[in-house]
Structure 1
């Protein structure tokens, strides 16, 4: 049975969140292509995972037989998240830009699932798994824009997901999402609308592409 792991991290719900809306388009298309598939869903805004603790961190590098009760409990929670990632045939992550980087809730999830010697390192356990990241942002950070170089979402996630974990990463980027809400950006609304449409189209094509690959 084909499994999609879907992670959302926007503090906004429904259509108020660009990343959630585009991720939902991907998920809906994926489910159309996999009517018997399974979706494992985590809404990190509603149910955040624990931040990495000393016990959870150190437990990943020692023999489980030597774990203290605190280490065993903390590492057990990490293993639940790691196994969800390892068992997924595809991963979908909603990653809005907050203050130039990812939400803290998404960072906490990554800190839990990145385990050198298992999910990262020489032989990553989720190697080759396709991961689609919906990296929404209120402005524009592409080449030639005033804030080029301030995008710490795509560069960070590429290092973690592609370089460290050897996953197959593709980004979908709806941008200028603040244009309809910020009077100073009103002239950019048409560009925002075009970006939103392209993002939804990209989500559909990406989900269908992965179905054909499978």
Structure 2
């Protein structure tokens, strides 16, 4: 079985196990569903607690740290990053518009709804998916642009997408024919990978000026 088939099987089995729990315990008291909510809450807690290096902190000492052109480059990077993060959140809301725990139903993996968000019936990308890929491309390309202005950033990997796709395009390999909850979790992971990459870039800039 290829890696994608293994992942699909894992999620289906997981959802079936959740379904068994639902037969015994009310959904609002279900500890498995609570685990999903806890995971989401922990991500939010990390977001609030992480001490990110931002444009504002660089701006306060700009004259001694970076040049005007470098500051413009960092501001551009910040705008591109925020645009991508917002789009990822919009995709997540399209998958689960309400609280995550209230929308998980193990009897309906919502594979068709998931596919409809990313792919048209003829297999081409939807507008949302096309924008998603374009914004990811812009983010990774802009890191390469930053590396020309800050040589210290050459140690940072520009990609946030894994290279292995089993001879498929990246979007199809990661999001086609999966349960909606699987795509939601992948988007959450990607969201935090991007935020970590941004923090690494600003930290590296500050530590090497």
Q: TM-score, normalised by structure 2?
A: 0.28
More helix by share: 2
Structure whose alpha-carbon radius of gyration is higher: 2
More strand by share: 1
